[in-house]
Amino acid sequence: MVSPELSPALAAVLRRAVARLTDAGVPDPDVDAELLAAFALNTSRGGVQAAAVRGDVLEPDVRGRVEDLVARRVTREPLQHIIGTAPFRHLELRVGPGVFVPRPETEMVAQLAIDALEAAASASPVAVDLGTGSGAIALAMATEVPHARVFAAENSVDAFVWTKENFERVGAANAQLAFIDLEHAFPELDGTVSVVASNPPYVPDAAIPRDPEVRLFDPPVALYGGADGLDVVRILSGVGLRLAHPGGLIVIEHGEWQGESIREILAADGWRSASTHPDLTTRDRATTAIRP
């Protein structure tokens, strides 16, 4: 008889995985164990749950693959790096080393941009995503507002590899990607843009992210934004004024304590009606303002 500790049954493999992930301090170890098993089995999380209830047994090579994946996650390598994708709204985006992994809280930032784009008076409104990273916000706007024209800028070589792949995979004909720094992005669009969106680096240089997944694996260029974390926000404000038409909206993601400072930056530059918006956890997550 096979001992419970060495049982090849999927349910037992999952229990061992959950225990290892829990000991490593991984948040939501049950979810991660099931998703890693789903990746190894080329099925869905629901498929894994059903197979565990049925009492399915894993072949040795598959069991070894699950255990190898769990061992990587135990080091706190991001789950998204291991399985190669990250969900964002209705999209599945390719991610890995060199690109910031899109977070669920950024989905509400995209929603603010999408709502403004849908409300734009133009039959073909223009949106720009500055520092697009994986392309999450830009591709969400392009696919959810198909009558819009969406332009995305990225200037990190490492990130651009992933951005380009995601644009090709999604295949949104109304989305255009450029490798260019945000200060000089899209001069041909000056004064025509209805929505300027960005999830810039906003962590203060001296701050140390708590989560190892962020601290050890997210690219520093996508995290750190100067002494107060707002260096890039200051640039965004000026670029947004150049790009946006009167009545156009800027949407900037930020940390929960930065809303007031960002409203002050935008107001000082001439933006109007600066307002900070909470995410679903009630933490301040994004600030918007209107171009006069």
Of 186, 199, 201, 217, which is the active-site residue? Answer: 199
> For the segment 150-198, what is each residue's pLDDT rounded down to a tens digit?
999 999 999 999 999 999 999 999 999 999 999 999 999 999 999 999 9
> For the segment 190-242, what is each residue's pLDDT rounded down to a tens digit?
999 999 999 999 999 999 888 999 999 999 999 999 999 999 999 999 999 99
- Average pLDDT of span 49-58: 93
Domain with CATH 3.40.50.150 in the chain: 85-290
Of 78, 200, 201, 217, which is the active-site residue? Answer: 200
Percentage of the chain with pLDDT > 70? 98
Of 39, 78, 88, 100, which is the active-site residue? Answer: 100
Alpha carbons 164 and 44: distance in angstroms, whole number: 26
Asked about 100 being catalytic, the answer comes back as yes
Q: Domain 85-290 carries which CATH code? A: 3.40.50.150
Residue 210, pLDDT score: 87
pTM for this prediction: 0.92
